[in-house]
Amino acid sequence: MKKHPRYLVNLLNRQRLVKISDFKIKELIDFVLGEEKAPRTMGMNIMLVRDPVIRRYHKDFMGIDSPTDCISFPPEGLEEANVLEPACGDVVLSVDHALSYSLENDILFAEEIVRYAVHGTLHCLGYDDIDPGDRRRMFAKQEKYVLYWKTNLYTTK
């Protein structure tokens, strides 16, 4: 995979449950945007929150009164978090969900956070996971990027 132009990726850590470095999330999302041929003038906002916050977003924007793992907003959504203009979108991730899932499934917490970030980014770029065929394509692409992170970014300093 080749090097792409740099995109502006903003990581907003709005939680204190877990001490988080950026796990090279910014570099990975920059890579995903390049691979997916996003316009060079665009960036991405990723916000790490706790369950009560993501529950509020889930209820306010989707009408579902429960926390979830990841919510993505195309450029016209989530105005208050959209600090990059123009942005491909905003992604809100639940640290609580990532921590629970990683413990239950014996995977790295960082890997699960990265998976949510890639998943939300792909949604902002137009991918969907409702139809089974679309879901298979999206998840294959998502796991390709998570594997890239594991082999090229997570293991390097």
Banded pLDDT at 79 (limits 50, 70, 90) = very low
> Mean pLDDT, to the nearest integer, of 23-51?
90
- Domains of the chain, residue spans: 8-153
pLDDT on residue 41 = 75
pLDDT of residue 3: 64
Looking at the domain that runs over 8-153, which CATH code has it been given? 3.40.390.30
Does the pLDDT of residue 80 top 90, yes or no?
no
- At residue 156, does pLDDT exceed 80? no
pLDDT at 154: 76
Phi and psi angles of residue 47, each rounded to the nearest 5 degrees, phi first: -120, 125
- Percent pLDDT > 90 in the chain is 64
User: At which residue do the structure tokens 């996003």 appear?
Assistant: 38
pLDDT, position 113: 95
Mean pLDDT of the chain: 86
User: Rg of the chain's alpha carbons, rounded to an integer?
Assistant: 15
Distances (CA, A) of 26 to 84, 133, 156: 14, 29, 14
Average pLDDT, integer, range 21-36: 90
pLDDT at position 144: 97
Length of the chain in terms of residues written: 157
The answer to whether residue 78 scores a pLDDT higher than 50 is: no
pLDDT at 105: 96
Task: State the number of CA atoms in the 13 A half-sphere of 131 facing the CB.
Answer: 5
d(CA 86, CA 84): 6
Of residues 148 and 154, the one with the higher pLDDT is 148
Lowest mean pLDDT among 21-25, 64-68, 126-130: 21-25
Residue from 115, 114, 102, 124 nearest 38 by CA = 124
DSSP collapsed to 3 states, the chain: CCCCCCCEEEEEECCCCCCCCCCCHHHHHHHHHHHCCCCCCCEEEEEEECHHHHHHHHHHHHCCCCCCCEEEECCCCCHHHCCCCCEEEEEEEEHHHHHHHHHHHCCCHHHHHHHHHHHHHHHHCCCCCCCHHHHHHHHHHHHHHHHHHHHHHCCCC
